[in-house]
Chain A
């Protein structure tokens, strides 16, 4: 792994146990190297394991075999607490379902990862407000997620993913449930973040528009990953 590489997967496999002692292999022998500040899209048919791959990269799941290295650290050997620390400080995650806490306001939802780190100071609050401004939701800071539209919720989720200034931003079908217009504005935001702040971006998507805007496009099919384009 050279100095520029932020993420490296080596021979990663993921199988899920099934009833009657059977199992299903979703990912087999995946190897991948992602340089810092690269924007990458992972495409592929439904059920091909894109989200699973993203979860492994995001330290939400562990591979059955193989290694996942982030900034040179092998995630597969880390404890739950160490993984939480990685997720908190190094990774931002935008889920397909926005997963906002209904009991918290928009601003509070954005601040949640900071609370996970145990520190919510005025500086972070300012940053949260600023992030909400960037996602055009500054005026909705005190609203509850239940009164937001789908696109707005997704933008809150994006702001939340960015609050701790992660070096790696993962997005799982971020535009999957959005209309065209909302989707376009979210894509813009992601690209801008990648280019402006040098955040490495990995997006799982079905959207050709979104994939086109990325530096690199990989396709996952039948458990294997192959490069479609590399504009980086």
Chain B
């Protein structure tokens, strides 16, 4: 006989009991592994999505409105020795060719070349061949528009302006181009149909056009704004390569020689990039370059004599030194002096527009003393001093002027036309550079040209280029492949969340498994005693029991793993149907990793082993004799348990008080109440334990009844009875407490402290809006009817696209969307739940403009966004790179409660425009509307501003959309929790069976002395149903405390019907199990049981 024989004999002998053990442990393995595999599936789906959307792309450079030479892509490919695709990427709005009601906002318009398709997941297989006027679209866009190849569609594309449309003298009249296109193909995901740089599991709406044709339509011939590099290159490698290949033209900078005397640096973006200015200063410190800032002014006048619409140049050395002019002085041309009849010493008044927010023009005036009159052909005056103002520089005559400001043609005289014809944009006056900068500098820059005494433009360009890091002018690559990997791999949120939601079910299953293993060991206490009595060492007995348990656990794991896979499929089916809202309708595919399976298997196995070890440890503390006769050696001590109960109870009371105080201070805090409820539950369970201990020793004062025996029966094994109460109580508590805290719809959406901020409508446009929706004339330009706008006011916000950082995106947002807000606009709105420190204590929004240190941009985010989507807390930061390649930190300074801002971070417009210099216009709008007009207002925005992809929704609906996700989570939790409760009742049944089996002898005695069967059944039912009811009462009591905020809140109502049904179902199921278990356990031969007694 060997050790292993003994194990085999035991396994076979107790096989019937082992079925139960294996079943329970198998369920635990299945539930645990399944919960983990759901996380795997989410993660695997996101990884797959990441592969589909990037294909072979390793790094990407997206420069937005700053276009570079398309040729840069080829040069870079040569330098890198890798595939580089050049493309144009712009936002657009799609429309069915014949049906204007079928529209698609937020279309990702891509001008591509052959190299683009080679980077696709399918490596270019089946790539569409696009000719001029043709488009290939992806499946989601085709579905949205209801189109197929052979049909036509309209595409409105945001027309980028080299000059920001927020910049002075830029135009908005040509902001978009609409083209009619022949659809030639619907591109599958593997062919790059899912291409996108943003980590979002929702498929983008992509439209692919031939690059050159698109560039031509947008008047961007030979330019591009997107480079994709493949071949596994890193961001560092591509940045190094671009460092070698880029030219100043890629930053919109031009250097030309003027009359062989000097070189001139200009920018097609009107204002020179600060990095270029710095470089110019750095390359020629000995011969300081001259800075020029030329501006278009509305009027120049001396006394009542005026000259309309002229250019004025501010000139001066860049590095100080001899200034030719004082700050209050002006040199005027002979032409102007004659026109104004001006003489040196006269006062020249200059009127000019300053661009405010929303392109609001404010006319300012400045006065100068005329110091000198110079000839019209003076060296100080030349037409090249005027930058290429769009709509102005190319105009042949004054009638064709179309700058970004209103021109009153009637003011233009014949002499003005003559001047334009003869001198073009030659400035009529010159002021000092310092004075000019004071008047006209803006966020885009403060120079329109630099002139340097240097003969070779090439040499100078090389010198300037050498002083600029490409990243400073926005030529910077991102490691998109690595970012996508991070977004997908860090996106365990849902997996963890699901595990969290399943926790009670997993807990119940694990507890059940642990219980059956523990009971299995306990049941054979006498055997343990015998083995020890005949000389087995504790170690040897432990090994024996563990080996036997291990075999059972392994069988359970082997059965549980396929069960886990099945369970995962069931959950995924649920996520594809009834719980669709939880994953924002994304299709989650089944993915399983061996590691996860191994974790599930090992964890389940470990639970069994630990349960056995714990029981053995307790058993080994007893003397061998006690084990042999299976009698308890140490009676319960009341004092310690009483103390524990009192301490827990006091703690719970303290927490309730603290939670109540918190509620009073900040409105509502479900968390505090939940904790208080949980502690109360612990206290109640502890009290139950004490009561059970006493019940076991209770002496009946008035004779004895079956109820007494039942109560004593419950108290005989207090730990086991408490186990039943605890499972039931925890289940009831969790299901009810969580269910009660479901997000309820807003009672008063107009409440400024609510999640809508008191706004009625939330709108977002694909293309920016340059006007002011609060101004009737601007509304008129959009064709908006005035009626719904009476009493309405709109808050305009800027938007920097990024990853959606809300519960609708399963990826971990790497660079969330940034909304630029004017803090004053939101003053007193929304509810702050945590702020870093408020400068004035009254308005937390002002934190957005507060100084938190250099390169730190304060941000406010929605609680759900900050905490869950970004995994951050107040005080923590996210790193961003601005348009000029400078890294900066967006630091969360405050969180607002459940709001319409989910998904984005809010920073102040001041910081926004400083970091995203070229961004223009507004794209996010919050509107307050008069009562009953909000729907009309939203409908108007949607229908009349559809060409720019305006999507307006009622703010409450937007909030409800976010809440749907949470509500679905709650629904999932309730379903999983209820499953856990069912397992809990199975555990209850199991305990009942064991209890009865162990007491068959005594029950047989009762039978033998004349008790009827029904009485014995009744006693058992009373004993165990009592525990069930006790569990439900404990759970219910604690849950009522946890649901405090809901009960307290005005209009808050507990979902009594569903919660009542849960409790009732639980009670009925539990009693059913008890009765059934009693019947099964008592079936059998009583005489034998009596004999053994």
Partner of A60, one of B6, B527, B539, B623: B623
CB <8 Å contact, A101 and B535: no
Expressed in whole angstroms, the minimum distance between the Cβ of A95 and any Cβ of chain B is 7
CB <8 Å contact, B535 and A87: yes
Contact flag A93-B635 (CB < 8 Å), given A60-B624, A62-B623, A103-B9: no
A164 touches B (CB below 8 Å): yes
CB <8 Å contact, B628 and A60: yes
B14 touches A (CB below 8 Å): yes
Contact flag A93-B534 (CB < 8 Å), given A19-B697, A55-B625: yes
CB <8 Å contact, A113 and B628: no
Partner of B533, one of A89, A93, A108, A120: A93
Instruction: Using CB atoms, name the residue of chain A closest to B696.
Output: A19
Task: Please give, as numbers and ranges, the residues of chain B lying within 8 Å of A228 by CB-CB distance.
Answer: none
CB <8 Å contact, B13 and A102: yes
Q: How far is the CA of A125 from the CA of B5 in the complex (A)?
A: 14
Task: Please give, as numbers and ranges, the residues of chain B lying within 8 Å of A62 by CB-CB distance.
Answer: 623
CB <8 Å contact, B536 and A116: yes
Instruction: Using CB atoms, name the residue of chain A closest to B529.
Output: A99
B484 touches A (CB below 8 Å): no
Which of A4-12, A67-75, A78-86, A188-196 lies at the interface with chain B?
A78-86
CB neighbors of A among B1-57 (8 A): 1-3, 5-6, 9-10, 12-14
Expressed in whole angstroms, the minimum distance between the Cβ of B423 and any Cβ of chain A is 110
B530 touches A (CB below 8 Å): yes
Partner of A81, one of B12, B13, B538, B697: B538
CB <8 Å contact, B635 and A18: yes
Instruction: Using CB atoms, name the residue of chain A closest to B540.
Output: A116
Expressed in whole angstroms, the minimum distance between the Cβ of B878 and any Cβ of chain A is 59
Q: How far is the CA of A117 from the CA of B2 in the complex (A)?
A: 11
Contact flag A103-B10 (CB < 8 Å), given A95-B628, A120-B1: yes
Partner of A113, one of B12, B13, B535: B535
Expressed in whole angstroms, the minimum distance between the Cβ of A143 and any Cβ of chain B is 14
Task: Please give, as numbers and ranges, the residues of chain B lying within 8 Å of A113 by CB-CB distance.
Answer: 534-535
Q: Which residue among B529, B533, B539, B697 has the maximum number of chain A CB atoms within 10 Å of its CB?
A: B533
Partner of B537, one of A81, A99, A112: A81
Task: Please give, as numbers and ranges, the residues of chain A lying within 8 Å of B575 by CB-CB distance.
Answer: none
Q: Mark B635-674, 1 if CB is under 8 A from A, else 0.
A: 1100000000000000000000000000000000000000
Q: How far is the CA of A80 from the CA of B527 in the complex (A)?
A: 17
A88 touches B (CB below 8 Å): yes
CB <8 Å contact, B624 and A61: yes
Q: How far is the CA of A18 from the CA of B637 in the complex (A)?
A: 10
Partner of B2, one of A87, A102, A104, A120: A120
Q: How far is the CA of A108 from the CA of B8 in the complex (A)?
A: 13
Q: How far is the CA of A74 from the CA of B297 in the complex (A)?
A: 112
Instruction: Using CB atoms, name the residue of chain A closest to B10.
Output: A103
Task: Please give, as numbers and ranges, the residues of chain B lying within 8 Å of A108 by CB-CB distance.
Answer: 1, 5-6, 9
Q: Mark B106-138, 1 if CB is under 8 A from A, else 0.
A: 000000000000000000000000000000000
Expressed in whole angstroms, the minimum distance between the Cβ of B624 and any Cβ of chain A is 4
Q: How far is the CA of A17 from the CA of B2 in the complex (A)?
A: 40
Contact flag A103-B13 (CB < 8 Å), given A60-B624, A93-B533, A95-B628: yes
CB <8 Å contact, A61 and B623: yes
Instruction: Using CB atoms, name the residue of chain A closest to B7.
Output: A103
B101 touches A (CB below 8 Å): no
Main secondary structure of the interface of B (DSSP, over half): helix
Task: Please give, as numbers and ranges, the residues of chain A lying within 8 Å of B527 by CB-CB distance.
Answer: 101
CB <8 Å contact, B628 and A116: no
A216 touches B (CB below 8 Å): no
Expressed in whole angstroms, the minimum distance between the Cβ of B9 and any Cβ of chain A is 4
Interface size on B, residues (CB 8 A): 34
Instruction: Using CB atoms, name the residue of chain B closest to A160.
Output: B534
CB <8 Å contact, B535 and A117: yes
CB <8 Å contact, A88 and B538: no
A39 touches B (CB below 8 Å): no
CB <8 Å contact, B1 and A115: yes
Task: Please give, as numbers and ranges, the residues of chain B lying within 8 Å of A120 by CB-CB distance.
Answer: 1-2
Task: Please give, as numbers and ranges, the residues of chain A lying within 8 Å of B531 by CB-CB distance.
Answer: 112, 116
Q: How far is the CA of A89 from the CA of B532 in the complex (A)?
A: 13
A111 touches B (CB below 8 Å): yes
B620 touches A (CB below 8 Å): yes
CB <8 Å contact, B534 and A112: yes
CB <8 Å contact, A84 and B635: no
Partner of B635, one of A17, A55, A80: A17
Q: How far is the CA of A89 from the CA of B620 in the complex (A)?
A: 21
Task: Please give, as numbers and ranges, the residues of chain B lying within 8 Å of A84 by CB-CB distance.
Answer: 532, 535-538
Q: How far is the CA of A88 from the CA of B14 in the complex (A)?
A: 26
CB <8 Å contact, B625 and A103: no
Instruction: Using CB atoms, name the residue of chain B closest to A16.
Output: B633
Q: How far is the CA of A215 from the CA of B520 in the complex (A)?
A: 45
Q: How far is the CA of A125 from the CA of B535 in the complex (A)?
A: 18
Instruction: Using CB atoms, name the residue of chain A closest to B530.
Output: A99
Partner of B634, one of A17, A85, A115: A17
Expressed in whole angstroms, the minimum distance between the Cβ of B696 and any Cβ of chain A is 10
B97 touches A (CB below 8 Å): no
Task: Please give, as numbers and ranges, the residues of chain B lying within 8 Å of A102 by CB-CB distance.
Answer: 13
B526 touches A (CB below 8 Å): yes
Expressed in whole angstroms, the minimum distance between the Cβ of B638 and any Cβ of chain A is 9
Task: Please give, as numbers and ranges, the residues of chain A lying within 8 Å of B540 by CB-CB distance.
Answer: 116, 118
Task: Please give, as numbers and ranges, the residues of chain A lying within 8 Å of B13 by CB-CB distance.
Answer: 102-103
CB <8 Å contact, B628 and A99: yes
Partner of B625, one of A61, A107, A111: A61
Q: Mark A200-228, 1 if CB is under 8 A from B, else 0.
A: 00000000000000000000000000000
Task: Please give, as numbers and ranges, the residues of chain A lying within 8 Å of B532 by CB-CB distance.
Answer: 84, 87
Q: How far is the CA of A120 from the CA of B2 in the complex (A)?
A: 7
Expressed in whole angstroms, the minimum distance between the Cβ of B979 and any Cβ of chain A is 36
Q: How far is the CA of A88 from the CA of B625 in the complex (A)?
A: 15
Expressed in whole angstroms, the minimum distance between the Cβ of A185 and any Cβ of chain B is 23
CB neighbors of B among A117-135 (8 A): 117-118, 120, 125
Task: Please give, as numbers and ranges, the residues of chain B lying within 8 Å of A115 by CB-CB distance.
Answer: 1-3, 6, 536
Instruction: Using CB atoms, name the residue of chain A closest to B535.
Output: A88
Instruction: Using CB atoms, name the residue of chain B closest to A163.
Output: B534
CB <8 Å contact, A101 and B530: yes
Expressed in whole angstroms, the minimum distance between the Cβ of A47 and any Cβ of chain B is 14
Task: Please give, as numbers and ranges, the residues of chain B lying within 8 Å of A99 by CB-CB distance.
Answer: 526, 529-530, 533, 628
Q: How far is the CA of A211 from the CA of B634 in the complex (A)?
A: 34
Task: Please give, as numbers and ranges, the residues of chain B lying within 8 Å of A59 by CB-CB distance.
Answer: 624
Q: How far is the CA of A85 from the CA of B2 in the complex (A)?
A: 19
CB <8 Å contact, A164 and B526: no
Expressed in whole angstroms, the minimum distance between the Cβ of A21 and any Cβ of chain B is 8
Q: How far is the CA of A120 from the CA of B1 in the complex (A)?
A: 6
Instruction: Using CB atoms, name the residue of chain A closest to B12.
Output: A103
Contact flag A111-B1 (CB < 8 Å), given A17-B634, A84-B532: yes
Contact flag A88-B628 (CB < 8 Å), given A17-B635, A62-B623, A115-B1: no
Q: Mark B333-360, 1 if CB is under 8 A from A, else 0.
A: 0000000000000000000000000000
CB <8 Å contact, A81 and B535: no
Task: Please give, as numbers and ranges, the residues of chain A lying within 8 Å of B14 by CB-CB distance.
Answer: 103
Contact flag A89-B1 (CB < 8 Å), given A61-B623, A108-B9: no
CB <8 Å contact, B537 and A80: yes
CB <8 Å contact, A19 and B635: yes
Task: Please give, as numbers and ranges, the residues of chain B lying within 8 Å of A86 by CB-CB distance.
Answer: 535
Expressed in whole angstroms, the minimum distance between the Cβ of A172 and any Cβ of chain B is 10
Q: Mark B515-545, 1 if CB is under 8 A from A, else 0.
A: 0000000000011011111111111100000
Q: List 5 A-B contacts (CB under 8 A).
A: A17-B634, A99-B526, A101-B10, A108-B5, A114-B1
Given A85-B537, A87-B532, 15 new contacts (CB under 8 A): A17-B634, A55-B623, A60-B628, A61-B624, A80-B538, A81-B537, A84-B538, A86-B535, A88-B536, A95-B628, A99-B526, A99-B533, A112-B6, A112-B534, A116-B534
10 nearest A-B residue pairs (beta carbon) = A88-B535, A103-B13, A116-B535, A116-B536, A84-B537, A103-B9, A60-B624, A87-B535, A60-B625, A113-B534
Q: Which residues of B contact A (CB under 8 A)?
A: 1-3, 5-6, 9-10, 12-14, 526-527, 529-540, 620, 623-626, 628, 634-636, 697
